[in-house]
Amino acid sequence: MDEEIRLTKTDETEQAQPEKQPGESSILNQDFNSYQNFNSQFAPPPLKKKSTKKFVATAGLCVMSAIIGALSAVAVVPAIYPTNALSTTAAAKTTSSIAQVSTSSASASSQTNFPVAEIAKEVGPAVVGVSNFQSTQNVFGGSSNLQEAGSGSGFIIDAQKGYIVTNNHVIDGAQKITVSLSDGRNLDAKVVGADPRTDLAVLQISDTKNLTAVKLGDSSKLQVGEPVVAIGNPGGAEFARSVTTGVVSATDRTLDIQGESSFNLIQTDAAINPGNSGGPLVDYQGNVIGINSAKYAESGFEGMGFSIPISDALPTIQQLIKTGVATHPALLVTTNDQYLSYAQDNNLPLGAYISAVTPNGPADKAGIVKGDVITKINDAQVQSSSDLVHDLYQYSVGSKISITFVRDGKTKTVQATLGEISSNQ
């Protein structure tokens, strides 16, 4: 029997997840020489004896060449093996204490790369473990004491204020959250803001003594094949700050899971395991360029992890820090993907089936009604609810878009102005 293909988020959550109606999502309201040896018969004839003067000249030339070569090697070695290179990297100035690095447009080969050991030494102290505690029901129907229901990772982005970035699914449902630091401290953390629609969350710890923050890179300039390092807590505290290496296998990947469907994800073959969720994906300049979030978990497949690009995540992170909530563009409709199997069985167009429309919302004002199937946003094809969310999140609140949909077998196009939905709606 074929095994089911599963895309899993990589926290170690063990609690039962709330059941949803199959295929239903509220958007919007939710809104990967050899050389041969010559025989002796082909050996060159014996060399004739050279004159003594020519020998002396030749020997002198060899000595000079050796000296020049040695001096060149001395000059080149420091460039190939930089001393304390990470600590001398200049960070771009920012208006906050979040360190962000502007990556030059030059190719990766023209930039200084740092050994993995140096990257681990520099970034590792900023990586934390995140534990999610919840009460559970005992066999007699009562509530038990708080127990660790799951764990994941995170990283410090502001050492002065104690801000930590992680995945929303790592802390979802938590009644208590603790953070484990590289120096052995275990501290309580509070949720500054969380956004299920992008699977992002920001935590804060009050004890900011001796904290180290990461530097943020520019994920928009990543190239396929570029080496990367993943750091996190796979398996929990026992394997805290484990370091794995790999490359950027692909960019612009999409996954049909809540939160991650909002982004064009980074695919990497650096090992990402349960407990890695929320940890950083780091480039060879020591900058965080992704947030490790999911892996392809089908049996027989290895090396298919996915990260949220940091440049795409940063606007939401900044909103969460500033206001505690994040806002997103929305049509304010509800969709149902049960339509997809029906459409395939009956040779109907694939798309996002509209099961409800919010009165006076953007879709309602544009003339979209229940039963319509959205097939395009501007020129982008829409074949599911996830496609619709992903495409809408490429725009801003107030953007004007063109919506192509099918109604009663006929294709129509209308214009709409995107509304707003927040993470707490």
- pLDDT surpassing 90 at residue 257: no
pLDDT at residue 236 above 80?
no
Please state, for a pLDDT cut of 90, what percent of the chain lies above it: 54
Average pLDDT of every residue of the chain: 78
pLDDT of residue 110: 52
Res. 81 pLDDT band, cuts 50 70 90:
very low
Strand partners, 7: 296
Q: Which of 169, 180, 311, 372 is catalytic?
A: 169
Is the predicted pLDDT of residue 323 greater than 80, yes or no?
A: yes
Higher pLDDT, 275 or 300: 275
Average pLDDT over residues 287-316: 85
Residue 390 bears catalytic tag: no
Is residue 363 a contact partner of residue 31, using CB atoms and an 8 Å limit? Answer: no
Say whether pLDDT at 7 is over 70. no
Least confident of 6-20, 116-130, 233-247, 396-410: 6-20
Q: Out of 199, 269, 387, 391, pick the active-site residue.
A: 199
Q: Which of 25, 131, 249, 277 is catalytic?
A: 277
Q: Is the pLDDT of residue 350 over 80?
A: yes
Q: What is the pLDDT of residues 128-187, one digit of tens each?
A: 999 999 987 776 666 678 888 888 999 999 999 999 999 999 999 999 999 999 999 999
Mean pLDDT to the nearest integer, 63-75: 42
Taking a C-beta distance cutoff of 8 angstroms, is the pair 11, 170 a contact? yes
Residue 274: per-residue pLDDT: 82
- pTM, entire model: 0.70
Structure tokens at 87: 């600590």
Active site annotation includes 328: no
pLDDT at 150: 87
- The reply to whether 379 belongs to the active site is no
Examine the pLDDT at 23 and tell me if it is beyond 80.
no
Instruction: Please determine, for residue 101, whether its predicted confidence score (pLDDT) is greater than 60.
Output: no
Average pLDDT of 63-92? 39
pLDDT of residue 143: 64
**230 CB neighbour count, 10 Å cutoff:** 26
Residue 14 pLDDT > 50: no
The answer to whether the CB of 182 falls within 8 A of the CB of 153 is no
- More reliable by pLDDT, 4 or 214: 214
Instruction: Identify the pLDDT of residue 48.
Output: 40
Q: Can you give the pLDDT at residue 192?
A: 97
What pLDDT sits at residue 319? 94
The reported pLDDT for the residue numbered 27 is 43
Q: What is the pLDDT of residue 92?
A: 36
Which pLDDT tens digit goes with each residue over 387-404?
Answer: 898 899 889 999 999 999
Distance between CA 366 and CA 416 in Å, rounded? 5
